[in-house]
Amino acid sequence: DVTLDPDTAHPYLILSDDGKQVRHGDTEHELLDNPERFDNCVCVLGKEGFSSGKFYFEVLVKGKTEWDLGVARESINRKGLISARPQYGFWTVALWNENDFRAHADPSVSLSLRVKPQKVGVFVDYEEGLVSFYDVESRSHIYSFTGQSFNEKLYPLFSPCRNDEGKNSAPLIISPVNYNA
């Protein structure tokens, strides 16, 4: 069960009380700048990390014009400018400018999707070195990072991106997983 870790949240992010939703606000919150907190990249991590086995979560991205989702290793840089690439401990896909889908590989991979996903599933197989992304509603594969080598704890990573004067104000919502679908 994935919930957001407020101690890692960028000061402009607003988390719901249940730890299931995150959006970018218009004002900076006065928060302790602890080592876990992102200070430039508008990101937040999940509370629970994992270092073995398989892991899956789903995120509602409906109504968003930009977002970034995936997993990150525990030791990632959280201060200043961040390059969200596998060699720096990030395995993510993103939506930019409403319809520009990308996988943050090296180099970045442009993704051609038939439909804009409303809900994204993220699957990790730690031992296999696999991170896969799915469009839950159309049951289609978006992208996979394969042959990765994980040697420390991984955490779910969420970025609702900037509010963009209200155009991107919808929250990212961690959804309950329906295994019967």
- Per the domain annotation, does 1 fall within a domain? no
Distances (CA, A) of 53 to 127, 150, 181: 7, 11, 22
At 38, is the pLDDT very low, low, confident or very high (cuts 50, 70, 90)? very high
Instruction: Give me the CATH number covering residue 43.
Output: 2.60.120.920
Decide if 181 is inside a domain. no
| Residue among 66, 65, 23, 53 nearest 129 (CA) | 53
Q: Is residue 161 a contact partner of residue 137, using CB atoms and an 8 Å limit?
A: no
Q: Examine residue 75 and state whether it is found in any structural domain, yes or no.
A: yes
Q: What radius of gyration do the chain's Cα atoms show?
A: 15
Q: Is residue 149 part of a domain?
A: yes
Which residue in this structure is represented by tokens 């508008």?
A: 42
Domain extent at residue 129: 6-175
Residue of 135, 65, 19 whose CA lies nearest to 6:
19
Does residue 58 lie within any of the structural domains? yes
pLDDT digits (tens, 9 = 90+) for 100-145: 999 999 899 999 998 899 999 999 999 999 999 999 999 999 999 9
Q: How many domains does the chain have?
A: 1
Which pLDDT does position 114 carry in this prediction?
87
pLDDT above 50 for 181 = no
Alpha carbon distance 32, 29 (integer Å): 9
Question: Residue 54 domain-assigned?
Answer: yes
φ and ψ at residue 87, rounded to 5 degrees: -65, -15
107, HSE (Cβ side, Cα atoms, 13 Å): 1
pLDDT score for 16: 98
pLDDT surpassing 90 at residue 177: no
